[in-house]
Amino acid sequence: MKTFDGATDALREVKRLAAEMDIHDKIYLAFNEYYERFFVSDDNDELSETIHQRWRDSGCKSKPEDEASEYEVWEYSIAENKEKYPNTYRSAN
């Protein structure tokens, strides 16, 4: 996982990873306005652990769900998946 201060660098990393994707890969871009940080990973478990760790580092004063709701997360998948699995990607743009 990589952390970025700005959207431009984070999106460059998404683009770099996308060039290496195969049909089963996904890329995750997460943003937290409070920390003003972008996170890019191709592993959803790693992203989940990072969010959980930030909650623990804050002293666990809020509910884990509240911490998670502060993140916006985008999942990138290749367009071929949208064609092959239309029900899964029905509301994807």
Domain ranges of the chain: 2-84
What per-residue confidence (pLDDT) applies to 45? Answer: 93
Whether 93 has a pLDDT exceeding 60, the answer reads no
Higher pLDDT, 25 or 90: 25
How far apart CA 29 and CA 76 sit, in angstroms, is 8
Residue 2's nearest CA partner among 30, 41, 34 is 41
Q: How far apart are CA 23 and CA 68, in angstroms?
A: 28
What was the pLDDT predicted at 82?
Answer: 66
Tell me the per-residue pLDDT of 22-53, one tens digit each, with 9 for 90 and over: 766 889 999 988 888 999 999 999 998 988 88
The pLDDT value given to residue 29:
94
